[in-house]
């Protein structure tokens, strides 16, 4: 089985707060997920409260943004401990996740 850190990503966002998260969501929704062989990675500070807010903003923002643009919302995501300073979320089209065995 593949670990989420091994998912191919086209861009990694190192977010410090919710304001950064909104900018990352705009970029991800604009780039889209459907038909792409890569996803996106979001790094968040290891501080739980901040990470939860960023994670919620990213996951709900991507879903809402894709729906608003009429794009498929078939996106899977995983949250994990990336290193001693960061949590991470990897977001990828479900077809890519299935292909990788996630």
CA dihedral sign, ordered 45, 50, 55, 60 = negative
Whether pLDDT at 95 is above 90: no
Q: Say which DSSP state 6 is in.
A: G
Task: Reply yes or no on whether the pLDDT at 1 is more than 70.
Answer: no
Q: 55-86 in b/e burial notation, b at 16+ Cβ within 10 A? A: bebbbebbeebbeeeeeeeebbbbbeebeeeb
Does the domain at residues 4-100 carry the CATH identifier 3.30.110.140? yes
pLDDT at 2: 73
pLDDT of 99 > 90? The answer is no
Q: Is pLDDT at 84 greater than 70 in this prediction?
A: yes
The average pLDDT across 18-39 equals 90
pTM of this prediction exceeds 0.95: no
pLDDT surpassing 90 at residue 41: yes
What is the torsion angle, in degrees rounded to the nearest 10, for the CA atoms of residue 68, residue 87, residue 24 and residue 36? -70
User: Across residues 33-46, what is the average pLDDT?
Assistant: 90
Strands 9-14 and 39-45 come out as parallel
Spell out the domain ranges in the chain.
4-100
């Amino acid at each position: 089985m593949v670990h989420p850190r091994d998912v191919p990503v086209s861009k990694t966002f190192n977010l410090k707060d919710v304001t950064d998260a909104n900018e990352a969501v705009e970029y991800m929704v604009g780039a889209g997920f459907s038909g792409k062989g890569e996803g996106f990675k979001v790094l968040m500070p290891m501080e739980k409260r901040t990470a939860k807010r960023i994670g919620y903003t990213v996951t709900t923002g991507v879903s809402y943004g894709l729906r608003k643009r009429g794009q498929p919302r078939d996106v899977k995501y995983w949250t994990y401990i990336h290193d001693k300073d960061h949590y991470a979320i990897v977001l990828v089209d479900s077809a890519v996740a299935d292909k990788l065995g996630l």
